[in-house]
A = this chain, B = another copy of it.
Amino acid sequence: MWYFSNPASGLDISEVNDAIEEAFAEHGRGNVQMPPKVYVHLDKGDFRTMPAYIPSLDIAGMKIVNVHPGNRQSGLPTVMALTIILDIDTGLPLAILNSTDLTDLRTGAAGAVAARYLAPASPATLGIVGSGRQAIAQVNAICHEIDVESVRVWSRDEKNAVSFCKNFSGIDCNPANLPRVCSADIIVTTTPSRKPLIKDEWVTEGTHINAIGADAPGKQELDPAILPRAEVFVDDPAQAVHSGEINVPISLGLFSPEQIKGTLGELVIGKKKRNARDEITIFDSTGLAIQDLAIAEIAMRKMGDIELKFP
């Protein structure tokens, strides 16, 4: 059993995006086992366990990941994760991966795959809401998939938006107000908001939205009025209904699970398609355990750092 302390280092983003796309394809084909993630609530945050099995990749295991919004004050990431990979034939643990950075990458990759299938224009302008780790990961991943003309970013604190743009050399990136960010071809929301940030009137026909931030009951970033105007794709229906962007609108009776157009996996395999290029599309991402397995599979092609005695 090997421990990988920094498995994200040196990963090729295009390779990650392709692996995540294939994982979604397997999900779309119904070829994976992935029970809904399980939440445990702590005083200052929560943690989730996410088991899965992808037979076509011969990989099985689970990720444990916390969300503690106050962690920045103590110098720790809000989200930290470990992934355990088991041998399919014996159940023997093969690897433990520090999957904090892998979580960023695999979530970014899901946004990139959605952009590949749903971007309304090429080159496209990218509007980023939020300036944290996931905002960076989304820009990096999307710029590997589609031709991005420029990036506009909004943060509650403009200083953070300015710092954010320094992460990207060779990309035209500028802070902007929310309406301006929302006039981009692709909007990506990455905040932990529990109240809608994106107003209905700011979003015009033909825009694609990656709704990334909402990953727990009560979280939402979009005005619910946008949803009935849009074709809504989700990563996984059960998880999206429970904890995705659509969870609050559903609980308020403003959206229903029957209005989900399809999954990202179904888009990838061509089982579902969007109706027209001038419609609003939304990808509601909650984060799937199969994404964690798919990226672990790539990371494990390198050697681990430390061999741990087991059993």
Question: Which residues from chain A sit less than 8 Å from chain B, CB to CB?
Answer: 3, 5-6, 33, 35, 38-45, 47, 49, 51-53, 60-62, 64, 66-68, 71, 74, 76-77, 80, 82, 84, 86, 88-93, 96, 98, 100, 305-306, 308-311
Contacts and interface: CB of A to CB of B under 8 A. Distances in A.
A35 B82 CA distance: 20
Contacts of A60: 40, 42, 47
A98 B92 CA distance: 11
Nearest to A71: B90
B76 A311 contact: yes
Contacts of A33: 40-41
Contact of A47 (B41, B68, B91, B100): B91
A35 B43 contact: no
A93 to B, nearest CB: 5
A33 B3 CA distance: 29
Contacts of A91: 42, 45, 47, 66-68, 71, 80
Contacts of A5: 308-310
Nearest to A52: B40
Contacts of A96: 82, 96
What are the nearest 6 A-B pairs in CB distance?
A66-B91, A5-B309, A49-B51, A68-B91, A49-B49, A35-B38
Contacts of A90: 44-45, 66, 68, 71, 74, 76
A80 B49 contact: no
A80 to B, nearest CB: 5
